[in-house]
Chain A
Amino acid sequence: MNKVKQKDLMLYSGLIILGLAAPFLFSAFKVQLTYLCVLIVLAMTWNLQGGEMGYNSFGNILFYGLGMYLTASVQVGMFFPLAEWTESGGEKTFVHTTAEYFQGIGVGLLVAAIVPTIVAGAIGYAILGLRGHYFAICTLGLGIAAGEIAGGIEIIGAGQGFTTPPFPAEIVDPEARGQFFYFLSFLVLVLAFIFVKYIYGSRFRLILNAIRDNEDKAEAMGIQTMKYKIVGWMCSAFFCGLAGGIMGGLIGYIDSTDVAFDGREMGVFMVLMAILGGKGTLWGPIIGATLFHFFKEGLWTFILGWQYVALGVLIVVIVVYFPEGLMGWLREKYPERFGEVIDEKDRKAQVELK
């Protein structure tokens, strides 16, 4: 037992050191690395419902977009009139001082974590009674509706989009902005990992699994499934909101349907990454997101115009050949490495029976 822990410790400290050193090692790739952190957070937290609870949600993009708009709105609204900021063609230019910028984004991220969590609770209460495909379709609608609604609200820029505050000009180092957003996203990634890891060792996960495997039986055993389903979704919403807030600041421009409530890309990617790596595992979504990001960044540009065809092929390959994801596939191939003991005699006996 002790030995295993030591190995884990080595792995984790290695990863953290790598994470901290990454922006200096690969200075040119900071933005991509930030994306990677955000993608992992999204995949990992999606996995809480999709993988552990068995509720395939396409609606997590709602919390992501909400977080994005909230962070930017708070960051601007704390110091300047928001309506004038977003009004296109406004003659006035507002500039955040360095202190204002960081205070704004700090408070903004806090709000971006809390509000989506509350929203998830409220919406969850209303729709988590739906099961299976009905839940999936309903959440799909949520993301699309949110995008269209946001596109009509003038104070957040409506169809014009919302330009988030530029990084303070007093910080002259052009690398600073990339580093700031990288470390912010890395911090959120570490927090999300610790949280999910904690859940994996808790009774809460077993309850989520029970809901996935047979909700009626779980209920019959006296588990208040509704309560746990809502809490599970709120956990995801918390991190999705944070991820969205960071992305908004990083991209610098929020568009209602293409950047914030981007169900067509981010919303699908987070599901795809979790399934690619293997849903219902701790490391699956992380590996899935990493591979997906490398695939996307590495190959995308060489197949200009055909990248979505390639993505489609990838999805088909995953679903046909790795229905349980990479982790599931590895587990089937090398079960002993996952701590599963196979009785050789028993296996042979089964084969003979057939």
Chain B
Amino acid sequence: MNKLVKLFITSISAITLALVSFTSSFAKVDGEYIVLGSAISLTGKYSSNGVHTQNGYNMAVDRINKMGGVKVGGKSYKFEIIYYDDESNPKRAAQLAERLIKQDGVHYMLGPYSSGLTKAIAPVTEKYKIPMVEANGASRSLFTKGYKYLFAVLSPANQYLEVAIDLAVEKNGGKPVRIAQAFEQDAFSQDVRLGILDAAKRTGSEIIIDDKLPKELNDMAATLAKVKATKPDVLVVSGHTKGALTAIRQISEMKVDVPMLAMTHCDAAKLSKQHGKNSEYALCASQWHKNLSYKDKFFGGGKKYDKDFKKEFGYAPPYQSAESSAALLVFKDAFERANSFDRDKVRDALKDTDMQTFYGNIKFGPGGQNVAKPMILFQVRCKGDTCENKVVAPTKWASDKFYHPIPKWSERG
């Protein structure tokens, strides 16, 4: 026992020493670098969107650094990001935020992917008064908590598909519609659901199916069987990338006929590529589309961003990447206006942000949400075997006409 105790005590003191020497943290600004921190989902259920987010961040960092960096106090600085993998788990994300701030000495944060993870990180950044610009947490409840250091470049989740219901009512001659809806059990999708409930109330529409689907959505056959039986006017589905893929796969397998299908995350799921013609006519909510006419000096316009992104990463950028890139433009702008690395000055500068980026106009409301940019809807349309996303609403940017109703499967070639 004696030696064992000795061994134990020795190892504990060794660990102690190691930890003490580790505690010396890096600085927020390291030489010519401004260090940002981010916990990103590189594994787990959000891994594909996590990578889209990371690519968006990296693309913007490269571009800004190449084009002269960030000028503060007459000196030019470069951005650098410390990443950790949060494994798509809120518990891990909160812990990593703490680690970024306390151990890595990060003073400015970039958001994670998904509302749930942002909800977990926001209390931590708030506690340490760390400004966080996030691009992928859209849940409305993030903006009603009175957070002062949280800024979101995207529109809140409840706005995602409200427009779709309005559109359905319009197509129905202004009369209320019957809505079937299925949402994943997570913060974001449940917020999209709240938006639909509001829209239904406003238009007097009736919700005839209101299903909740498990996370990591792989099967929604039960909901679709009900849809087949009750024949609603609109089917609304939201469940991140997996939800979009599952919905299209099963709708085409089961030959479910519904006049209008509204979804989220179509472009992140690369729906038009993966399911081709089967995904035609699906209506998708999006934060951004390359055809929009917004411009900035770093990326040019949406089309140029699309081209550059494709060249760099080999696939067309979903809006998750675009909004993530925009987050860095916001940070750069704020640093330069604050002309300081003082967190509170940067925070105040962020609050006063009013700018245009290739992704859209950005101006923050009192809760930290972006109030300057509307959501858009696009529809998957095919020509031969190539399918594309065409913007159909709102009318200001619509490049194509909205096709309604969706033809029956028996009539589709």
List chain A positions with a Cβ less than 8 A from chain B.
4, 7, 11, 14, 18, 25-32, 35, 88-91, 93, 148, 151-152, 158-161, 163, 166-167, 174, 177, 247, 251-253, 255-259, 262, 265, 294, 300-301, 304-305, 307-308, 330, 334, 337-339
Contact = CB atoms under 8 A, between A and B. Distances in A.
Nearest to B40: A304
Given A31-B95, A251-B95, 19 more contacts: A11-B8, A14-B9, A25-B16, A27-B23, A29-B19, A88-B187, A93-B146, A158-B190, A158-B212, A159-B185, A159-B189, A174-B129, A258-B89, A258-B91, A259-B91, A262-B91, A301-B85, A305-B43, A339-B1
B84 interface: yes
B204 interface: no
Given A11-B5, A26-B20, A301-B85, A253 B94 contact: yes
Contacts of B25: 28
B91 A256 contact: no
Nearest to A264: B89
B167 interface: no
A251 B91 contact: yes
Contact of B12 (A18, A35, A337, A338): A18
Given A89-B191, A148-B214, A158-B190, A253 B20 contact: no
A177 B101 CA distance: 15
Contacts of A27: 23, 102
A90 to B, nearest CB: 7
Contact of A161 (B98, B119, B144, B146): B119
Interface residues of B, number: 58
Interface stretch (B120-128, B258-266, B276-284, B358-366): B120-128
Interface in B138-191: 139-141, 144-146, 158, 183-187, 189-191
A161 B93 CA distance: 15
A32 B103 CA distance: 11
18 contacts: A28-B103, A31-B95, A32-B99, A89-B140, A158-B190, A159-B187, A161-B116, A166-B126, A255-B90, A255-B120, A256-B185, A258-B88, A258-B215, A259-B120, A294-B15, A304-B85, A308-B43, A337-B1
Nearest to A90: B144
Contacts of A25: 16, 19-20
B120 A253 contact: yes
B90 A88 contact: no
B77 to A, nearest CB: 25
Nearest to B118: A253
B386 interface: no
Contacts of B120: 251-253, 255, 259
Nearest to A162: B119
B66 interface: no
Contact of A252 (B8, B23, B123, B141): B123
A252 B139 contact: no
Interface string B9-29: 100100110011001010000
Contacts of B98: 31
Nearest to B193: A159
A164 to B, nearest CB: 9
Contacts of B214: 148, 151
A25 B103 CA distance: 14
A259 B127 contact: no
